[in-house]
Structure 1
Amino acid sequence: MRAVAPNAVTALALCSGLTGIRFAIAGDWERAIIMILVAGVLDGIDGRIARLVRGQSRFGAELDSLSDAISFGVSPALILYLWSLVAAPRIGWICALVYAVFCALRLARFNAQIDVVEQPHKSAGFLTGIPAPAGAGLAMLPIYVWLWSGEAVFRSPWIVAPWVAFIAFLMVSSLATYSWSSLKLRRNIRFEAIVVVVIVAAALVSAPWQTLTVVCVGYLATLPFSIRSYRRIKRLREGSAPSPAAG
Structure 2
Amino acid sequence: MKRIGPNAAENEPRFQRGRHPAGLQLRAVLPNAITAAALCSGLTGIRFAISAQWSLAILAIILAGLLDGVDGRIARLLKAQSRFGAELDSLADSLSFGMAPALIIYLWSLQALPTLGWFASLAFAICCALRLARFNAQIDVDDQPHKSAGFLTGVPAPVGAGLAFLPFYLWMATGNAVFRDAAVVGPWLALIAFLMISNLPTLSWTSLRPRRTVRLEVIALVGLVFAALLLEPWWALALLSGAYLLLMPVAIVRFAGIKRRRAARPRS
**TM band (smaller chain):** over 0.9
Residue correspondence of structure 1 range 36-115 to structure 2 within 5 A: 36-115=61-140
Check if 1:138 corresponds to 2:153. no
| Cα distance in 1 for residues equivalent to 2:266 and 2:57 | 50
The yes-or-no answer on 1:213 pairing with 2:242 is no
**Which residue is equivalent to 1:149?**
174
SS for the counterpart of 1:4 is helix
CA offsets 1:85-113 (integer angstroms, 9 cap, x no match): 00000000000000000000000001111
Q: Distance in 2 between matches of 1:191 and 1:143?
A: 33
> After superposition, what is the alpha-carbon deviation per residue over 1:176-202, rounded to whole angstroms, capped at 9, x for unaligned?
000001111222211111111110000
1:181 aligns with 2:200: no
Q: Which amino acid aligns with 2:197?
A: V
| Structure 2: gaps spanning 5 or more residues | 1-25
Using the TM superposition, give the Cα deviation of residue 236 of structure 1 relative to its aligned residue in structure 2, in angstroms.
0.7
Q: Name the SS of the counterpart of 1:2 in structure 2.
A: helix
Q: Secondary structure at the match of 1:3?
A: helix
CA distance in 2, matches of 1:26, 1:39: 19
Specify the alignment match of 1:9 in structure 2: 34
CA RMSD of aligned residues (A): 0.8
- Stretches of structure 1 that go unaligned for 5 or more consecutive residues are none
CA 1:241–1:98: 2 relative to 1, 3 Å: farther
Question: Which of 32, 38, 59 pairs up with 2:57?
Answer: 32
1:200 is aligned to 225
1:163 maps to 188
2:250 to 199, 202, 225: 225
CA deviation digits over 1:47-90, x for unaligned, max 9?
Answer: 11111111111221111111000000000000000000000000
TM-aligned CA deviation for residue 241 of structure 1? 4.1
Segments of 4+ moved more than 6 angstroms: none
SS at match of 2:27: coil
- In structure 1, how many angstroms separate the alpha carbons of the residues matched to 2:77 and 2:129? 28
Q: Distance in 1 between matches of 2:134 and 2:183?
A: 30
Question: Which structure ranks higher in relative contact order (CA pairs < 8 Å, sequence separation ≥ 6)?
Answer: 2
Equivalent residue for 2:197?
172
Aligned to 2:263: 238
Q: Which letter maps to 1:27?
A: A
What's the TM-score, normalizing by structure 2?
0.89
Q: What's the % identity of the aligned pairs? A: 60
State how many pairs are aligned: 243
